[in-house]
Amino acid sequence: MGRIEACPIPPPPGLPEIEPFEIAPLEDPLPFRNREEFERFLCDVYIFRTTHSTTFHGRHNVECLGIFSPNESESIERCCLQYASHTEEYPTEFECFLIGKITSHNHPSGQTFSRSDIVTWADLPLQEIRVVAPYNVGAYRTYSIKRLNQRRPTWAEMKCVINAQDWGLHNFDSNPNYRHRCFLLLHEMGFFEYSVDPPIQM
């Protein structure tokens, strides 16, 4: 129904439980049926029009996570809220539910995937992870990391490649432009398909 609950992870230390996000009328189903409609909802409603979803609240930012079936219809299976900076792992049952799925969430930072995004994608694994992020007033970018054929690279393999770069793994978490470059490199090396729309001018 018209209510998005928090993901089943405890809030980080010192932060309150996330309040459910209600969409009136409550009796109606959520106003999106698939991945495309969900991402439109993120842009039109969730990002900027929801006080807890923007960068103004620092580490209290709340992301909205949509989980979709990996078939052609990409229909929504579940939707929930989580702290952007969460470091807790999902409970096993929720992880099992995520295996092989497509997920999409907003990044209040406006930046590409975080380390925990790529680790989750690789280790579960997920079919595809997507991020919707504002990069200018009223403009949004979508980032995608998709499995390539049947390849199932591990985070350990990717970490080796990143470690061999001049900047190593150092700065990977703190520098989103460097993360973007690492993802481009891993794409070129065939680890996955990484795409950004519209592209970032480097």
The nearest distance, CB 133 to Zn ion, in angstroms, is 9
Buried b (16+ CB within 10 A) or exposed e, 101-116: bbbbbbbbebbbbbee
CA distance 103 to 51: 23
Total residues at the site for Zn ion (CB under 5 A)?
2
The nearest distance, CB 26 to Zn ion, in angstroms, is 28
Residue 39 in the binding site for Zn ion (CB under 5 A): no
The nearest distance, CB 107 to Zn ion, in angstroms, is 5
Stretch that binds Zn ion, among 9-17, 114-122, 132-140, 191-199 (CB under 5 A): 114-122
Measured from the CB atom, is 63 or 74 closer to Zn ion?
63
**Chain centre to alpha carbon of residue 163:** 24
Residue type (1 letter), 97: F
Distant-in-sequence, close-in-space partners of 59: CB < 8 Å, separation ≥ 6: 15, 83, 84, 85
Residue of 96, 148, 143 whose CA lies nearest to 127: 148
CA distance 74 to 88: 27
Residue 117 in the binding site for Zn ion (CB under 5 A): yes
Stretch that binds Zn ion, among 36-44, 108-116, 138-146, 161-169 (CB under 5 A): 108-116
DSSP H helices, 115-154, are 115-123
Measured from the CB atom, is 2 or 195 closer to Zn ion?
195
The nearest distance, CB 111 to Zn ion, in angstroms, is 9
Measured from the CB atom, is 2 or 175 closer to Zn ion?
175
CA distance 159 to 16: 33
Stretch that binds Zn ion, among 37-45, 70-78, 106-114, 165-173 (CB under 5 A): 106-114
Residue 128 in the binding site for Zn ion (CB under 5 A): no
The nearest distance, CB 143 to Zn ion, in angstroms, is 9
Positions that interact with Zn ion (CB under 5 A): 114, 117
